[in-house]
Amino acid sequence: MSFDLEKHPHRRYNPLLDEWILVSPHRAKRPWQGSEERPPAIVRPPYDPDCYLCPGNTRANGDRNPNYESTFVFVNDYSAVLPDAPDFDKCAGALFKTMSLRGEARVICFSPRHDLTLAEMSLTEIERVVDLWARQTLELGERYSWVQVFENRGAMMGASNPHPHGQIWATDSLGSIPHKEDAQQRAFSERCGNRLLLEYANRELEMAERVVMENSSWLVVVPYWALWPYETMLLPKFPVMRLPELDARQRRKLSQILKRLLVAYDNLFETSFPYSMGWHGAPHSGDANDHWQLHAHFYPPLLRSSTVKKFMVGYEMLAEAQRDITPEQAAARLRESPEEHYKLR
């Protein structure tokens, strides 16, 4: 019997995190009698008087939003990190270490419209969001070493409000995942003389097996080591470390491919596709960070339909991450997704 990547279980290496993932493509055929989510509400009003993110409304802490007409940023009313945390660094032996963390958490409203998502916004509106991501990263990077831009879309991914919004958390130290990415990219650059993700993007373009879409400046792939069923990575085709370094044309091209990707997601199961996404760029430190390549991760949980999601349990929590459909199969399905949003058809 000859080995077949689309039939036989195998492991794939993630060079960005120095981890492995188990791929079990034969399991995609198993019948599903497990949990199914309730489909999200399709129709929402452009303005919701009870939404704490809509223009002019009062938030939970009593502050009133301005009547904003584009994007809007405010300090998270329930921030997970605080700028004035007192110093604390204690090591009670090798097994008990504690240190304080300072930071700021902000909420970004993408649009005043309550009924939109990034996938349904115009290119001009998306470009304003990209510009805001860049401005916030630049400002917070002057005070903090790590700036994490992210969005949780949909109740399935824990979003507490359907209004189109994301967040930015800035901290004075790198999180565990950026720390791994930093070490792996630095080691690759020292060993091979090139940026890991720039080399990876070039190889993916040559192979064309996991490419979902591209334009002159950007590339979307289902990573070779993807964990979530329809996970994607958004990569620049040019060397760049952080969002603020993108010029006007690169930001415009980014807005275009973002819309294409998010429409493809929505069209896959004809639903407002839930996901967690976030940007990883070079830390804002005094170190030389030219081994870093800017990129965005998209982690959607849906597996078979709009109501069946992938669970990370059992073996995944105790041994190693596992997926059913192969990254190549996922990329092909996303490529075949129509470019016109299903709500307009």
Average pLDDT in the chain: 93
Catalytic residue list contains 165: yes
Q: Residue 94 contacts by C-beta under 8 Å, 6 or more apart in sequence?
A: none
Q: Per the structure block, which two tokens stand in for 270?
A: 């004809």
Query: What is the sign of the dihedral through the CA atoms of 248, 250, 251 and 257?
Result: positive
Work out the average pLDDT over 250-277.
Answer: 97
Burial of 117 (0-12, 13-18, 19+ CB in 10 A): buried
Catalytic residue (one of 114, 165, 284, 295): 165
- CATH code for 45-344? 3.30.428.10
pLDDT in tens, 87-102: 888 888 888 989 899 9
Structure-token match 């603020």, residue found:
244
Tokens 């005070």, residue located? 143
Q: Give percent above pLDDT 90 in the chain.
A: 80
Residue 33's pLDDT band (cuts 50, 70, 90) = very low
Q: What pLDDT, on a 0 to 100 scale, did the predictor assign at position 226? A: 97
Q: Which helix (H) or strand (E) holds 183?
A: helix 176-192
Q: Which tokens sit at 93?
A: 């032996």
d(CA 37, CA 51): 23
Name the one residue in this structure whose structure tokens are 């804002």: 284
Mean per-residue pLDDT, 317-323? 94
The Cβ-side half-sphere exposure at 36, using a 13 Å CA radius, reads: 8
Q: What is the pLDDT of residues 202-241, one digit of tens each?
A: 999 999 999 999 999 999 999 999 999 999 999 999 999 9
- The H or E element that residue 96 is part of is none
**Which pLDDT band holds residue 300 (cuts at 50, 70, 90)?**
very high
Question: How far, in Å, CA of 294 to CA of 243, rounded?
Answer: 7
Q: In the 8-state DSSP scheme, what is residue 58?
A: B
What are the pLDDT digits (tens) for 171-214?
999 999 999 999 999 999 999 999 999 999 999 999 999 999 99
What pLDDT was estimated at residue 5? 80
Mean pLDDT of 137-162: 94
Residue 223, judged by CB atoms within 10 A of its CB (0-12, 13-18, 19+), counts as: buried
pLDDT band, very low/low/confident/very high, at 256 (cuts 50, 70, 90): very high
For 329, the enclosing helix (H) or strand (E) is: helix 327-335
At 283 the three-state DSSP class reads coil
| Res 28: pLDDT | 62
pLDDT band at 30 (very low <50, low <70, confident <90, very high): low
- Predicted TM-score (pTM) of this structure: 0.94
Bridge partners (DSSP) of residue 168 are: 106, 149
pLDDT for the residue 36: 57
Average of per-residue pLDDT across 279-297:
94
Per-residue pLDDT for 148 more than 50? Answer: yes
Enclosing H/E stretch for 98: strand 97-99
Q: Which two tokens stand for residue 183?
A: 């070490």
Band of the pLDDT at 310, cuts 50, 70, 90?
Answer: confident
With cut-offs at 50, 70 and 90, classify the pLDDT of residue 38.
Answer: low
pLDDT in tens, 43-88: 889 999 999 999 999 998 999 999 999 999 999 999 999 999 888 8
Contacts of 304 (CB under 8 A, 6+ apart): 32
Using CA atoms in the order 111, 114, 118, 120, what is the torsion angle rounded to 10 degrees? -110
* Nearest of 241, 235, 225 to residue 258 by alpha carbon: 235
